[in-house]
Amino acid sequence: MQARHLIEKKYRLLQEVIFPQLNQERIFFKYQSAWTKKQRLWARNFFHTELVPVLTPIALDPAHPFPKVINKSLNFLVTLQGQDSFGRKPHLAVVQAPRALPRVVRMPAHLESTGETCFVLLSSFMQAFVPELFTGMEVTGCYQFRVTRNSDLFVSEDDMTDLRSALQGELSTRHLGDAVRLEVASGTPAELIQRLRVECDLNESDCYQVNGPVNLVRLFQVPDLIDRPDLKFVEVKPTIPKILLDEKPIFDIISQQDVLLHHPYESFLPVLILLRQAAKDPQVLAIKQTVYRTGDDSQVMDALMEAAKNGKEVTVVVELLARFDEQTNMQWAAKLESVGAHVIYGVIGHKCHAKMLLIVRKEPITKGRGKGKYVLKRYAHLGTGNYHPRTAKLYTDFGLLTSHSQITQDMHFVFQQMTGTAIQPTLATLWQSPFTMQDEIIRHIRAEIRTAKSGKKAAIIAKMNALLEPSVIQELYRASQAGVKIDLIIRGVCALKPGVPGLSENIRVRSIIGRFLEHHRIYYFLAQGEEQVYLSSADWMDRNLYRRVEVAFPILDPEIKARVIREGLQILLQDNASAWIMQSNGSYQQILSRSKLKKVGQQELLQLIQKK
C-alpha cells in the first residue's frame, strides 16, 4: 500500500503541480486534442517517417501468442474489430516501442506560437495514428503498459570456471526475467488489465494504474530541450584546489601533503591528471585500481590502457557484477586485457565496492647515506564514490590524494589479498569489509558509550545512504541510552527510529534531498575530544559490511579533518532548506514547515565556499 500511495502521489504532482507550472511558463505537452491542423500534419508525417519503420504490430491469434515484452519497455495494447485480408478476426494486438525511439519529441519552432515550447509524447503519436498500422481494421482502443522484470543475474559458483563467460550468457536473457510489476495507463478496461496480469502471472497488488506516461524517467531529457536558463539550476563550475594549480608534478605535491577533493564542488580532473601523469612517468612502475562503475566513455580507463601500453604493470580489479553495468565492465575488461593489463574480477561472493587507486613509483634518494640509490614510494587516491567523471558532477563525494606510508601499505595488502590468496592481513589504518569494518564500527560506538558513562562528552555523527545493519543499530540505541549525542544523516532507508523515549531520545536522523545526490559516507567519533573521522564507500548495511570488499580510511591531516567535519557534517546539520527530519514513528517532516529561520541550503553554501 505504501508503494501504491507513493506512485499515486508522484503522478498527482506531475498532473496537478508540474504540468500547470510548466504551462504558466508557456511550456506545453500537446495532446492530439489540442493539435492545430498544421501540427497534426507534422505529427502524422513524423509518425510515418520516424516511427512506423521500426514498429512491429503483433496481432494476437493462435499463430501469434502474447509476446514476452522486454523489461521496462513501452508497449501498447490495441483493441480491434473486423477481419483482415487473411480472414483473421483478431481482437487484440501488441505494439512494442523500441528503446531507440524518443519518448518526448519537441515540435518544430514554426509550429509553436510565439514564446511557446511544445512537446509531444510518443504515446500521443500512437493514440492518434495507431489505426494506420492496422489498415482495414477498426481500432477501438490503444492503451500503454510496461512490465518490470526481475533483472538479478544468477551465476552458480559450483559450475562456473570463467565469471566473464558465465555472465555473458546470463546478460542475454536478463531483460526477459520473471515479471514483478505491471503498469498500465488509467482508463484501461478492467478485462484488458486482467489479460495482462494473466499473461505476466501477476496478482492484483502487482498492478499499478498511472495517470500519465508509464515511465517518468524519460522526462529527464526535457530540460535539455528547453532554452530557458531562468528555469534551471545555475551552472556549477567545479574548482581545483589551489595547491594543485601549481605547475609542479602532482607526485611532488602529494608527497608533501594530503589533498582533499570534494565533488561536485571541486573537479574530478586531479584524479585524471594523477592517472595520466602516472601513465607517462618513466619512474612509475605499477598502477593498481578498483573499478565498480566508470561509464561507457571513460578517461580513467583510457589512462590505464595508455599506462599498460607504456610498459607499466597495470592491475585492475573490475567488478563484473556491478548491477546494470555488467556489460560495460566486461567490455572494458576485454580492452584492458588486449593491451596487456592484468584484469581481476574480484572475489566471488563479495562485490568489490572499494574505491582505491595505488601507484608505485621509483624515486631517487637525494640526501644522506643512500644518496644515488632508489626507493619505491606509493601514491594513492581513496574515495567515497566511483571513478566516474559524470557522476562526480552529480553526486557529493570526497576523495583523498595521499602518500601516507601506512595507508598506502594497507592498500597494498588489500590489493594483494584480492588478486592472490593471502589470508587477512593486519591493517594499521584501514577498516575492511567483510573482516574488520563491522567490528571497528561497534568498537568505536562502545568507546563513546564508555566515555559518556564516565561523565565526559561523547558524540557520534554518521552520514551515509542507508542504515539497516541490526547489530550497529542496537549499539546506537545503547549509546543513546548511555547519553551519547548521535546525529545521523541518512539520505535513504533508515531502520533506526530516533527520539523514542528510553531508547533513542539522544538520536536525531535527517535526510538531505537537494540538487546533488548526497553520496559520501562519513563516520565521526568524538573519542574523548580527539576527533576521529573516517571516509568510506560503505553504508551501514548487511551487504556492505559482510558481502562486499569495502574500506574505510582515516583522515589524519588536522586541517583536512576539520574541513571534512565542516563541509561534510556541520553544514548539513544546519541545513533548513533541503532537510527532512525523521520522526519517532518513522515518518519525515521537512524542517522548513516548522521553522521561520533564514533558509540555509548546504549545497548552495558549499558552492559559495568553493568559489572563495
pLDDT (0 to 100) of residue 234: 86
pLDDT (0 to 100) of residue 251: 97
* Cis before 498? omega within 30: no
What are the tens digits of pLDDT across the range 149-206? 986 655 555 444 455 555 555 555 556 688 999 999 999 999 999 999 999 999 999 9
Domain span(s) for CATH 3.30.870.10 in the chain: 242-429, 432-611
Q: Is the pLDDT at 84 greater than 90, yes or no?
A: no
> For the chain, how big is the Rg over CA atoms in Å?
28
SS (H, E, C) 62-100: CCECCCCCCCCCEEEEEEEECCCCCCCCCCEEEEEECCC
Average the pLDDT over 249-268 and give the result: 96
pLDDT (0 to 100) of residue 159: 46
pTM: 0.88
pLDDT (0 to 100) of residue 161: 46
pLDDT band at 35 (very low <50, low <70, confident <90, very high): very high
CA distances from 7 to 200, 209, 278 (A): 20, 9, 49
Residue 490, H or E segment:
strand 485-490
C-alpha cell at 213: 506516461
Residue 138, H or E segment:
strand 138-149
- Number of other CB atoms surrounding residue 569 within 10 Å: 18
What are the tens digits of pLDDT across the range 473-487? 999 999 999 999 999
Using CA atoms, how far apart are residues 391 and 417, in angstroms rounded to an integer? 29
353 has catalytic annotation: yes
For the domain with range 242-429, which CATH number is right: 1.10.10.2160, 2.60.200.20, 3.30.300.30, 3.30.870.10?
Answer: 3.30.870.10
pLDDT (0 to 100) of residue 12: 96
pLDDT (0 to 100) of residue 210: 95
pLDDT (0 to 100) of residue 162: 55
The vertex-152 CA angle with 5 and 73, nearest 5°, equals 60
pLDDT (0 to 100) of residue 88: 77
pLDDT band at 550 (very low <50, low <70, confident <90, very high): very high
The vertex-533 CA angle with 530 and 539, nearest 5°, equals 145
What are the tens digits of pLDDT across the range 581-596? 999 999 999 986 554 5
What are the tens digits of pLDDT across the range 113-154? 888 999 999 999 999 999 999 988 899 999 999 999 986 655
For the domain with range 432-611, which CATH number is right: 3.30.950.10, 3.40.50.720, 1.10.490.10, 3.30.870.10?
Answer: 3.30.870.10
Choosing from 262, 263, 350, 353, which is the catalytic residue? 353
Residue 147 contacts residue 200 (beta carbons within 8 Å): yes
pLDDT (0 to 100) of residue 332: 86
> Which one-letter amino acid corresponds to residue 504?
S
Average the pLDDT over 277-302 and give the result: 92
pLDDT (0 to 100) of residue 323: 59
pLDDT band at 351 (very low <50, low <70, confident <90, very high): confident
Using CA atoms, how far apart are residues 10 and 212, in angstroms rounded to an integer? 10
**Closest by Cα among 315, 317, 306 to 341:** 315
Q: Is the pLDDT at 7 greater than 80, yes or no?
A: yes
Of 331-335, 338-342, 524-528, least confident by mean pLDDT is 331-335
Q: Is the pLDDT at 560 greater than 90, yes or no?
A: yes
Residue 194, H or E segment:
helix 190-200
pLDDT (0 to 100) of residue 371: 77
Q: What is the DSSP letter of 506?
A: T
What are the tens digits of pLDDT across the range 393-404? 999 999 999 999
* Greater model confidence, 599 or 553: 553
pLDDT (0 to 100) of residue 160: 43
pLDDT (0 to 100) of residue 592: 66
Share of the chain above pLDDT 70, in %: 91
pLDDT (0 to 100) of residue 379: 98
Close Cβ partners of 502 (under 8 Å, ≥ 6 residues apart): 481
pLDDT (0 to 100) of residue 608: 64
Q: How far is CA 358 from the centre of its chain?
A: 24
Averaged pLDDT of the chain: 90
Domain span(s) for CATH 3.30.1840.10 in the chain: 2-231
Q: Is the pLDDT at 263 greater than 90, yes or no?
A: yes
* Cis before 264? omega within 30: yes
Residue 161, classed as helix, strand or coil, is coil
Residue 581 contacts residue 592 (beta carbons within 8 Å): no
Q: Is the pLDDT at 542 greater than 80, yes or no?
A: yes
Of 62-66, 192-196, 435-439, least confident by mean pLDDT is 62-66
Using CA atoms, how far apart are residues 73 and 257, in angstroms rounded to an integer? 51
Average the pLDDT over 399-413 and give the result: 97
Name the CATH superfamily housing domain 2-231.
Polyphosphate kinase middle domain (3.30.1840.10)
